[in-house]
């Protein structure tokens, strides 16, 4: 199975900050990577697919980059509604695997 490692596991930031989350795959997955946002008590929401494609309706302050084994999710200017947990997921091959999550907290 492909292992997905996210860092950091948590980050404290203020409104307006730029936040970067990284995800590393244990083997190359080309651009077969997705990012999800999850708020407490809610289902995850797809933000980014194919490493850098913004899902419809997702604000442009979210962006993704990377290919192969190293990927990044960037929030350019953190908004109050962005405080949540973020997960990466590889979609290169089955079984699908998720990263351990990054909690973005209020500083």
Partner 1 sequence: QVTLKESGPVLVKPTETLTLTCTVSGFSLSNARMGVSWIRQPPGKALEWLAHIFSNDEKSYSTSLKSRLTISKDTSKSQVVLTMTNMDPVDTATYYCARSLGTGAFLDYWGQGTLVTVSS
Give 17 or 63: the residue with its C-beta nearer to partner 1. Answer: 63
Instruction: Name the β-bridge partners of 70.
Output: 24, 67
Distance CA 85, CA 17 (A): 16
Of these, 14, 16, 81, 94, which contacts partner 1 (CB under 8 A)? 94
Judged by CB under 8 A, does residue 32 bind partner 1? yes
Q: Please report, as residue ranges, which positions from 33 to 92 form the binding site for partner 1 (by CB under 8 A).
A: 34, 36, 38, 43-46, 49-50, 55, 87, 89, 91-92
Judged by CB under 8 A, does residue 105 bind partner 1? no
Tell me if residue 57 falls in helix, strand or coil: coil
Best CA proximity match to 97, nearest among 88, 106, 84, 86 = 88
CB 99 within 8 Å of CB 5: yes
Residues contributing to the site for partner 1 (CB under 8 A): 1, 32, 34, 36, 38, 43-46, 49-50, 55, 87, 89, 91-92, 94-101
């Amino acid at each position: 199975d492909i292992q997905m490692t996210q860092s950091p596991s948590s980050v404290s930031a203020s409104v307006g900050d730029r936040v970067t989350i990284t995800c590393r795959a244990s083997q190359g997955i080309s651009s077969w990577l997705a990012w999800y946002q999850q708020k407490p008590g809610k289902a995850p929401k797809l933000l980014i697919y194919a490493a850098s494609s913004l899902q419809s309706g997702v604000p442009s302050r979210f962006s993704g980059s990377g290919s192969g084994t190293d990927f990044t999710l960037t929030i350019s200017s953190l908004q109050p509604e962005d405080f949540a947990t973020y997960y990466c997921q590889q979609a290169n091959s089955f079984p699908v695997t998720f990263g351990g999550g990054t909690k973005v907290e209020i500083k």
